[in-house]
Amino acid sequence: MAYTQEPVNSAFKKLRKTTKGKGRHFLTAEEGAGMTAAGRKAYNKKTGGNLKAPQPGGGKRRTSYCARSKGQMEMHNINCSKTPKKRICAARRRWKC
């Protein structure tokens, strides 16, 4: 019996992934990466989720994000001092990690 995987109908996959133009949902890497307020609103509306803006002032969400993103950087061998224009590096700066 062959294994078949059902297609995932994720709302995030259906969300417009654009960094340019009116109604864009993501910031460019130069702007700090991450989702715009309009993008978070659209995602929350489609999924019933509760995405929030970055929390650079501190708190549990920031601590958790910084730990996760550090793991991603290590996994992909990204050094932000050498490649500061990467999206992950921009997002970490925005979160003040």
- For residue 28, is it within any domain? yes
Spatial contact of 43 and 11, defined as CB atoms under 8 Å apart:
yes
Query: Residue 78, class by beta-carbon neighbours within 10 Å (0-12 exposed, 13-18 middle, 19+ buried)?
Result: middle
- For residue 84, is it within any domain? yes
- For residue 52, is it within any domain? yes
Instruction: Give the C-alpha separation, 62 to 95, whole Å.
Output: 7
Encoded tokens for 41: 């609103």
- For residue 38, is it within any domain? yes
- For residue 59, is it within any domain? yes
pTM attached to this predicted model:
0.67
Instruction: Give the C-alpha separation, 64 to 76, whole Å.
Output: 19
Q: Which domain holds residue 59?
A: 13-94
Query: What percent of the chain has pLDDT above 70?
Result: 84
Give the total number of structural domains in the chain: 1
Q: pLDDT tens digit string along 14-53?
A: 666 777 777 778 888 778 787 888 888 888 888 888 888 8
Spatial contact of 30 and 85, defined as CB atoms under 8 Å apart:
yes
pLDDT of residue 8: 54
Q: Which helix (H) or strand (E) holds 91?
A: helix 87-94
